[in-house]
Amino acid sequence: MLQIGQTLPDITLPAYHQGEIKDLSLQDYKGKWLVLLFYPADFTFVCPTELREAAEHYQKFVKLGAEIISISTDTAYVHKAWHDSSPSIAKVKFPMLADPAGRLCRLFGTYLPAEGLSLRATFILNPEQQLISSEMHDNSIGRNIKETLRKLTAAKYVTDHGGEVACPASWQPGEEALKPSAELVGKI
């Protein structure tokens, strides 16, 4: 399972994106922040509410230099069918990655083998494709995309300041960050 600080290996999987099904290599996103949204399945109840919310905030992620990629164990053809039939999912402009064999889900520890589905999880990777944030929970609980955006903003702020600052609890853009003493830098 990929741990905080570890680098994403090269993985290519099929995806539905911009009206077509194509292979997508996660290495193609090196140099950008990546937000990976794992969810259990297409044509469900909670998942479209999350992906719709992500679609509504998508341009805010793009302005921060990030790409969102959603991932489930459905095929790219099922993603296309869902995109074509659901008004909520029709708003999705980011890639919808297909992981029917659960390769990426297993790498991130979200795979439920008995169901062949993924847990609901959010991961943020920096432009070097190192994992910097991980959140996973029961599939009955929807995530908060605004909180994901806040975490990404905080991570980018820390990176842009050379790691010389830290963002305290509930930090929001425009608020003061913490400046650790010299002996604590690198240990926070």
Predicted confidence (pLDDT) per residue in 54-65, tens digit: 999 999 999 999
Q: pLDDT-derived band of residue 79, with 50, 70 and 90 as boundaries?
A: very high
pLDDT beyond 60 at 188: no
Rounded CA gap, 104 and 39, in Å? 12
Q: What is the DSSP letter of 121?
A: E
CATH class of the 12-143 domain in this structure: alpha beta
Backbone φ and ψ of 135, nearest 5°: -145, 125
- When pLDDT is averaged across residues 159-181 and rounded to a whole number, the result is 76
Q: What does the pLDDT average to over 157-164?
A: 80
HSE of 127, CA atoms in CB hemisphere, 13 A: 8
Q: What angle do CA 82, 74, 9 make, to 5 degrees?
A: 125
**Could you state, in order of their start, the residue ranges of all structural domains in the chain?**
12-143
- Residue 120's pLDDT band, with cuts at 50, 70 and 90, is very high
Question: Which candidate in 15, 36, 47, 89 is catalytic?
Answer: 47
The yes-or-no answer on residue 47 being catalytic is yes
Residue 177 has a pLDDT of 75
Three-state secondary structure call for residue 60: helix
Choice among 50-54, 113-117, 166-170 with the minimum mean pLDDT? 166-170
Residues 141-152, mean pLDDT to the nearest whole number: 94
Q: What is the pLDDT of residue 15?
A: 98
Q: Is the pLDDT of residue 185 over 60?
A: no
pLDDT (0 to 100) of residue 60: 98
pLDDT at 174: 77
Q: What DSSP string runs through 114-161? A: TTTEEPEEEEEE-TT-BEEEEEEE-TTS---HHHHHHHHHHHHHHHHT
